[in-house]
Amino acid sequence: MNTPFISVIIPAYNEEKRLEPSLGVITDYLASQPYEVELLVVDDGSTDRTREIVEEFAKKSPMSLRLEKNPRNMGKGAAVQRGMLAGEGEYLLFTDADLSTPIQSMESFLPHLQSGADVVIGTRRHPSAKIERAQPWLRRTLGKGFIVLANLMVGIKVSDLNCGFKCFSRKAAREIFSRSRVIGWAFDAEILYLADRLGYRIVETPVTWAHSSGSQVRLRKDILSSFRGLLEIRRNSRQGLYNLPQKGGAN
């Protein structure tokens, strides 16, 4: 098998209601593209029919579809890490199972990657971003606050940390995700911190986005988890656990 041009990774936890329609949309789009694609679903210890749905869909899929399995529910960061290290594409994109950002948005990512960007991330906070259905006010406000806090604590300078639509060159993905340690909702902050410290060029591009009412985010629990994750990034950096070049960074 030739090396895929792009690997698309979908982390999934108890997504039996949304996953099959999303897989249909994704495969219909990718099958029409003039390059080779592989699709990976990482099941993060689901207790519903998520795994069975993927296995059944793979039998009729027009492209390569693989299922990776975490032994238990470990967190979105762990699921994304597993998929990004298992993917074999020249570029690796991860996207949420609810397709809050349409898969077609990858069309605006590829020119940046092919012109030398190492990491391209979707942003909902650019004037050109199209928000079809906004998050509730409280969630938007807390998200903005987390971005400010992440910038202060670990020096991340992007407008949108948590948009679940990010793409990496294979070299960047291997170096970043082989070092990542945060498995909860702060994993986005960690991987962008690592990308910056490793000297990779990060580009933000506006995307279309729609809030999903079935989001797996649990505000109180995940806010606390995210704050602890930022503290963990600082601690890991101070202790040299990331094996990074010696310069600046979180302190």
Separation CA 109–CA 115 (nearest Å): 10
Tell me, yes or no, whether 177 lies in a domain: yes
Tell me, yes or no, whether 123 lies in a domain: yes
The CATH number covering residue 184 comes to 3.90.550.10
pLDDT at residue 73, rounded to an integer: 96
Separation CA 138–CA 116 (nearest Å): 37
Q: What is the pLDDT of residues 26-48, one digit of tens each?
A: 999 999 999 999 999 999 999 99
Phi, then psi, of 220 in degrees rounded to 5 = -60, -50
Domain total in the chain: 1
Position with higher pLDDT, 233 vs 214: 233
The mean predicted confidence, pLDDT, of the chain is 92
User: Beta strand pairing status for 91-95 and 165-169?
Assistant: antiparallel
Q: Give me the percent of the chain exceeding a pLDDT of 90.
A: 78
Tell me, yes or no, whether 245 lies in a domain: no
Tell me, yes or no, whether 250 lies in a domain: no
**Structure tokens belonging to residue 211:** 């809030």
Task: Dump the DSSP string for the chain.
Answer: -PPPSEEEEEEESS-TTTHHHHHHHHHHHHTTSSS-EEEEEEEES-SSSHHHHHHHHHHH-SSEEEEEEESS---HHHHHHHHHHH--SSEEEEE-TT-SS-GGGHHHHHHHHHTT-SEEEEESSSTT-EEEEPPPHHHHHHHHHHHHHHHHHH----S-S--SEEEEEHHHHHHHHTT----STTHHHHHHHHHHHTT--EEEEE-EEE--TT----HHHHHHHHHHHHHHHHHHHHTTTT---SSS---
Angle (deg, nearest 10), helices 187-197 and 137-154? 30
**Global confidence as pTM:** 0.92
Query: Which residues span the domain enclosing 208?
Result: 6-238
Tell me, yes or no, whether 153 lies in a domain: yes
Q: What is the pLDDT of residues 78-133, one digit of tens each?
A: 999 999 999 999 999 999 999 999 999 999 999 999 999 999 999 999 999 999 98
Length in residues, the chain = 251
**CA dist 225 → 139, 151, 184, 220 (Å):** 15, 17, 7, 9
